[in-house]
Amino acid sequence: MDFKNGKELLGLCSEHGVPISEIMLRREIAETENKREDILMRLKVSLEIMDRSTKSSIQDPIRSIGGLIGGEAKKVMESDKKLCGPLLTKAIAYSQSVLEVNATMGLIVAAPTAGSSGVVPGALFALAEENAMDEDAMLHALLNAGAVGYLFMRNASVAGAEGGCQAEVGAASAMAASAVTEMLGGTAEECLNSAAFAISNILGLVCDPIAGLVESPCQSRNAIGVTNAYTAAQLSLAGITHPVPFDEMVDSMLAVGKSLPMELRETALGGCACTPTGCDLACRIFG
């Protein structure tokens, strides 16, 4: 049941008449020799961790170790100016909460990385809660997201130090877009089409953490990630097709990442990090 790229994944979905999540589950069973129930139980643990991390900083805000973030998720959730509507507002707040938990040494699920850990849970939990979706839908959404993440790991990168933030938040956004599409009844083709849109929309995003900390602008970029995921899913579910297929978009992301100068790949030597204020903040934090 293994697949090396999106084309092979779609072929397996078509051959067996099942969604991406089921192919990923069968692959995990074959690769690990674990039973279906065991794999789903492990996913439930990840789901529980994700759930706690999307809520804890809203309920009890804590300032990050570097002092750059803390309390933003609660402010978004409690604001009376909900320009984005209840679903997206909740998704943004949830994504920011996860980054606050991460920046205070709390427990999160790297999905696919710590710096992009808010995108997938933010998008999935907000959608599930607003539409009264059950745990089974969430578990299959994680499997779908895992399949897309696996393809990024196999054919490109999810590391900001290697490919910029497009490799972190970009990959997470594509994972969430595909998972959300399946949650809403989309086909396997629509899932990867939405992932292609998500990559395209965020292609070239640099990684420039202020003071080298996974705090800012990482947190706000997770908010952009969930927004991008929903937008990409909406486009795909509306029947709009990205002209470049998923596999080629993954290749393009890898090529763009390699072309980024090292100053824009998690070194904190470019972008936001090297602005006068960014440099001043680094000096204040580290002395």
pLDDT along the chain (287 residues), means of 10: 96 98 97 94 98 97 96 96 94 98 97 98 98 97 98 97 98 98 98 98 98 98 98 98 98 98 97 98 95
Pick from 51, 46, 156: nearest CA to 111: 46
pLDDT, residue 1, reads 83
Q: How far apart are CA 173 and CA 194, in angstroms?
A: 10
Measured in whole angstroms, how far is the alpha carbon of residue 144 from the centre of its chain? Answer: 12
Is 205 among the domain residues?
Answer: yes
Pick from 131, 66, 132, 123: nearest CA to 95: 123
pLDDT, residue 260, reads 98
What's the domain range around 201? 39-286
Is 65 among the domain residues?
Answer: yes
Q: What is the pTM (predicted TM-score) of this model?
A: 0.97
Is 190 among the domain residues?
Answer: yes
**Model pLDDT for residues 106-118, shown as the tens digit of each residue:** 999 999 999 999 9
Q: How far apart are CA 86 and CA 32, in angstroms?
A: 40
Is 22 among the domain residues?
Answer: no
Measured CA distances, 18 to 11, 182, 265 (Å): 10, 11, 38
Backbone angles phi, psi at 207, to 5 degrees: -110, 110
Tokens (6 digits) for 157: 């990168």
Q: Where does 156-270 have alpha helices with state H? A: 160-163, 165-183, 188-202, 218-237, 246-259
Is 241 among the domain residues?
Answer: yes
- As for how many domains the chain has, the answer is 1
Q: What is the radius of gyration, based on Cα positions, of the chain?
A: 18
DSSP string, 238-260: TT---SS-HHHHHHHHHHHHHHS
Is 53 among the domain residues?
Answer: yes
Q: How far apart are CA 183 and CA 169, in angstroms?
A: 20
pLDDT, residue 82, reads 85
List the beta bridge partners of residue 152.
Answer: none
**Model pLDDT for residues 22-57, shown as the tens digit of each residue:** 999 999 999 998 999 999 999 999 999 999 999 999
Is 13 among the domain residues?
Answer: no
Is 238 among the domain residues?
Answer: yes
CATH number at residue 65: 1.10.4100
